[in-house]
């Protein structure tokens, strides 16, 4: 027997966009039901993406540090050769995920959001049937928020299964593969490829473009390419992957030559696509923008009182964008006057070294004579040198308008620069000018001093260069 349920707000998807929307709806007193049919509370990011990948990256960094100490010593520190039990590492990572899952569940309960575990299928724009372990539930809502997220792209000639894995399986391996081939030189492939190289795997990367991280400018990616070269990572750029069998991946090099790469595991990271299939989107009558659900600056779809947030709505496919959209939609439903119109959404690559980009980059302002660009190297920052973060070619770059000095973009590459990303985004969102950064007393010794010095340099009077 099907149970019938009516609610003010129905949210489909419990990722960073969906659960944040749910909490905010609850805070605003809206009767809210959240249907979780995917990876679990927290979605891809918390369960099989951002959080677990950074945990594995952290463990790999610790392993590498001990390995350096064992290989002749570092900073006067010596140690015995390290070993890793990846099962234990994965169990530790899973413990973090469980703790965060429980935290999200508690926050939703506190906000009086009803969570239903099951897969939804829409009959029309405001009605869906959710299949649960206890039977079907038909839910009718005044407002629907779609937050179904995204999923890894599968190549037809490299279907997932067995030793061909996505990032999800890579984060739960029971042992470090001896030979790992990564298909795709974007941020996901490089983050995981670098982590497994630190853990001792032989790593090869196959990328169709002529350089890694093709969405970022070359100056930002050069330090990462240098790390890969120095650590024996095999790069095949301008190359195309083929089939995999008997422990070998077929590729075609940029010269058109066939090549066989030995591989215990093949990690396919060629992008993600919005999760639009299998839950009745076609029955909802919403307009599409290519593969994405089309929205306006209020995150409203073409169907009245149907909203969409997160990866489902297009690039950038970032967790913090989805969270911000979720808050906006909840407040609009509650009667607030809100739009989603950020000046910039900062993005981070947790590679070695890390990359941050916020706002306009040099490719966006190429050929313009009305901008100022200034770079300050971490090699001239005391804190960077003191934590071995000053010798890898890292820097902070500031791009500003020549006429009024308004900051248009900030980029950085270097160890730990992800922690500067919020400062970059904040300055852009506030409409800061170079003088605002230059006039802020930056704490010494910190990496943030490079942002200060880059801004001073744009004004013609950097101190430490």
Looking at residue 71, its pLDDT comes to 84
260 plus 409 within the same structural domain? no
Q: Is 191 annotated as a binding residue?
A: yes
Is residue 61 assigned to a domain?
no
Report long-range pairs for 102-106 (Cβ below 8 Å, ≥24 apart).
104/14, 104/19, 104/41, 104/42, 104/46, 105/41
Looking at residue 112, its pLDDT comes to 98
pLDDT in tens, 311-345: 999 999 999 999 999 999 999 999 999 999 999 99
170-195: average pLDDT: 98
Return d(Cα 211, Cα 142) in angstroms, integer.
Answer: 48
- Which residues lie across from 141 on neighbouring strands? 7
Q: What is the DSSP letter of 351?
A: S
Q: Is the Cβ–Cβ distance between 85 and 92 less than 8 Å? A: no
Q: Is 54 annotated as a binding residue?
A: yes
- Which residues lie across from 35 on neighbouring strands? 12, 116
Looking at residue 100, its pLDDT comes to 97
Please identify which of the residues 231, 444, 452, 461 carries the catalytic annotation.
444
Is residue 224 assigned to a domain?
yes
Q: Is 68 annotated as a binding residue?
A: no
Q: Which residues of 407-422 are buried (b: 16+ CB within 10 A; e: fewer)?
A: bbbbbbbbbbbbebbe
302 plus 432 within the same structural domain? no
- 131: containing domain: 3-55+87-152+273-333
Percent with pLDDT over 90 in the chain:
98
397-423: average pLDDT: 98
Return d(Cα 418, Cα 287) in angstroms, integer.
Answer: 36
CA atoms within 13 A on the CB side of 61: 14
Task: Clarify whether 461 is annotated catalytic.
Answer: no
Is residue 60 assigned to a domain?
no
pLDDT in tens, 202-247: 999 999 999 999 999 999 999 999 999 999 999 999 999 999 999 9
Q: Is 315 annotated as a binding residue?
A: no
Is residue 338 assigned to a domain?
no
Q: How confident is the model at residue 143 (pLDDT cuts 50, 70, 90)?
A: very high
How many domains would you assign to the chain? 3
184 plus 39 within the same structural domain? no
Q: Is the Cβ–Cβ distance between 151 and 276 less than 8 Å? A: no
246 plus 300 within the same structural domain? no
Residue from 111, 116, 109 nearest 34 by CA: 116
Q: Is 354 annotated as a binding residue?
A: no
41 plus 145 within the same structural domain? yes
249 plus 287 within the same structural domain? no
pLDDT in tens, 69-96: 998 878 999 999 999 999 999 999 999 9
Q: Is 169 annotated as a binding residue?
A: no
Task: Look at residue 176 and tell me whether its pLDDT is greater than 80.
Answer: yes
Q: Is the Cβ–Cβ distance between 196 and 176 less than 8 Å? A: yes
Looking at residue 72, its pLDDT comes to 82
To 5 degrees, how large is the angle CA 383–CA 387–CA 392?
A: 95
Read off the pTM.
Answer: 0.96
Task: Look at residue 38 and tell me whether its pLDDT is greater than 80.
Answer: no
Q: Is 284 annotated as a binding residue?
A: no
Looking at residue 39, its pLDDT comes to 80
What's the chain's average pLDDT?
Answer: 97
Is residue 342 assigned to a domain?
no
97 plus 147 within the same structural domain? yes
pLDDT in tens, 283-298: 999 999 999 999 999 9
CATH number at residue 314: 3.50.50.60
Return d(Cα 218, Cα 212) in angstroms, integer.
Answer: 9
Show the tokens assigned to 306.
């149907």
- Which of 284, 301, 333 delimits the end of a domain? 333
144 plus 175 within the same structural domain? no
């Amino acid at each position: 027997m099907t149970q019938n349920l009516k609610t003010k707000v129905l949210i489909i998807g419990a990722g960073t966009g969906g659960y944040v929307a749910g909490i905010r709806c609850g805070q605003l007193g809206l009767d809210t039901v959240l249907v979780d049919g995917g990876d679990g509370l927290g979605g891809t990011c918390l369960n099989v993406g951002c959080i677990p990948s950074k945990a594995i990256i952290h463990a790999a960094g610790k392993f590498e540090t001990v390995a350096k100490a064992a290989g002749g010593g570092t900073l006067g520190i010596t140690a015995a050769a390290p070993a890793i039990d990846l099962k234990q590492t994965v169990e530790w990572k899973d413990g973090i995920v469980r703790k965060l899952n429980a935290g999200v569940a508690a926050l939703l309960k506190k906000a009086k959001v009803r969570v239903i575990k099951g897969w939804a299928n829409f009959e029309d724009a405001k009605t869906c049937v959710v299949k649960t372990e206890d039977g079907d539930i038909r839910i009718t809502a005044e407002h629907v928020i779609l937050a179904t997220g995204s999923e890894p792209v599968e190549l037809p000639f490299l279907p997932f299964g067995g030793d061909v894995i996505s990032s999800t399986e890579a984060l739960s391996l029971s042992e470090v593969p001896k030979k790992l081939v990564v298909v795709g030189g974007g941020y996901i492939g490089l983050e995981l490829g670098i982590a497994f190289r630190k853990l001792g795997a032989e790593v090869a990367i196959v990328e169709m473009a002529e350089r890694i991280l093709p969405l970022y400018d070359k100056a930002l990616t050069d330090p990462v390419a240098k790390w890969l070269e120095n650590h024996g990572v095999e790069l095949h750029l301008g190359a195309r992957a083929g089939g995999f069998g008997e422990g070998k991946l077929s590729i075609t090099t940029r010269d058109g030559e066939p090549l066989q790469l030995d591989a215990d595991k093949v990690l396919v990271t060629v992008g993600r696509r919005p999760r639009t299939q299998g839950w009745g989107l076609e029955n909802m009558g919403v307009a599409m923008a290519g593969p994405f659900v089309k929205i306006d600056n209020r995150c409203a779809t073409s169907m009245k009182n149907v909203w969409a947030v997160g990866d489902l709505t297009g690039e950038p496919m970032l967790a913090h964008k989805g969270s911000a959209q979720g808050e906006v939609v909840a407040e609009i439903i509650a009667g607030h006057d809100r739009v989603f119109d950020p000046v910039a959404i900062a993005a981070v690559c947790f590679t070695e070294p890390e990359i941050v980009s916020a706002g306009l980059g040099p490719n966006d302002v190429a050929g313009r004579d009305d901008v100022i660009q200034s770079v300050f190297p971490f090699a001239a920052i005391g804190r960077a040198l003191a934590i071995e973060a000053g010798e890898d070619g890292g820097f902070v770059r500031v791009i500003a308008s020549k006429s009024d000095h308004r900051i248009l973009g900030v980029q950085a590459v270097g160890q730990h620069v992800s922690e500067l990303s919020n400062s970059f985004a904040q300055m852009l969102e506030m409409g800061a000018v170079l003088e605002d950064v230059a006039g802020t007393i930056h704490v010494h010794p910190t990496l943030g001093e490079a942002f200060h010095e880059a801004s001073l340099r744009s004004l013609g009077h950097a101190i430490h260069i």
